[in-house]
Every structure is written in structure tokens, then in C-alpha cells.
Structure 1
Amino acid sequence: MAALIHLLLPPELFYPSVLGVLLISCVAGVVAHIPAGLGVLEAVFLALLHGQLGQGTLVAALLGYRTLYYLIPLLLAVITYLVLEKRAKALRRQAGPALDKR
């Protein structure tokens, strides 16, 4: 997770800094009991890195992180599910006449 965020941020920010902020935001997300730490991650990053990077840069990187980490796997899962359902429907149609002959 930290590596992905680090890749989306400008190179002047060191990886250990990103990792530390991410760990703090994960703990804050658990304490806040908010699903996926929605908003907590962004607030902690903005609070702890406001002097090193601009707010727009941080928000853009975190939105990119949320997209890459949550939405793309969800999209791939939906596509896989639909393909498998279509395939299962075709197999049921093929097996239907064979089951009727019994």
C-alpha cells in the first residue's frame, strides 16, 4: 500500500515517511471504526504532510491510490463474475438435454 502511494507522490518524499504516515492512518482508521478508513487516511496524510507537499498533490495521489487499490480490483472481479456466469449458463444449456434423457 505504501509503495503504491509513494509511486503516486512526487519523488522528493522519502518512502519511510510515506510508510510511517500510512501506518499512523491505519491505526487511526481502526480507532475510528470507519470502513476502509474512508476519509481518515486522507485527513492523516493531509495533516502530517502539509508542510512537505501541496494539498492538491496529496489529494490527487490519494484519489489515485483509492482508485488503483479498490476500484480496479472491483471492476476486474465484476468482469470475471459476469464471464463465469455466462459460461455457466451455456454449460447448463448444454447439460439440460442430457439430463432430460434420463
Structure 2
Amino acid sequence: MYTLTCLGRVVVTVGAALVLATGLSTSAQAATGHLAYRSTNGEELTLDNPHNGECFLLVSGARRADNNSDTRATFYEEPGDCESPVVGTLQPRTARSFEGGTIPRSVKFG
């Protein structure tokens, strides 16, 4: 009887560990790589391995952006508001200039 109780505890413990391990690995996904951009002030700035679904402020807006990540980037007009009108999207490993048009002030990956 003691052996069955001990074996049951081991099975429950291993099962719980597997659920935790697989559940946590998919919940915090991030783009691999970086977004490099030139602000309207001429500064060269970078977002490294940004989390998917999170809204990032583009300091002073972006005149040019290089999406050197493995995830699509969507740019928005308002600062810190990834619900405002979309300015454009960049597929992975592509670049774009926003000169002469609406300057994006936020970006979201995924």
C-alpha cells in the first residue's frame, strides 16, 4: 500500500511539473532579434527581443525603422497607444522610411 501511495505522489508531481513547464514556455513569447529605428531627433534607438502583443513607445517617433526580428511589427500613430490608426507594418527582416508621411510613435509585435 505504501508503494502505491508513493508512486501516486511521484506521478502527480511529474505531471504538475510538465504542465507548469509547457504552460510557462508558451505564455511569454518574444520576437527574436531587434527593431532599430532613427527618431525624429536623429537618435539611433533599438528594441531588443520585444515581447509579442506589448505596446512599445517609439521615443520621439520613428523616421526610419529596420525590423531585424523574426516577427511582424505594426506601427501606430499615437504614442503608447497601439489602438490608434495604423501607420504601417514591417514584415521580419525588412525596413521602411516614414519620411514625408505620418510618423509612427508606437509599435507592437506579433
TM-score when normalising by structure 2: 0.28
Give the strand-richer structure, 1 or 2: 2
Give the helix-richer structure, 1 or 2: 1
TM-score when normalising by structure 1: 0.30
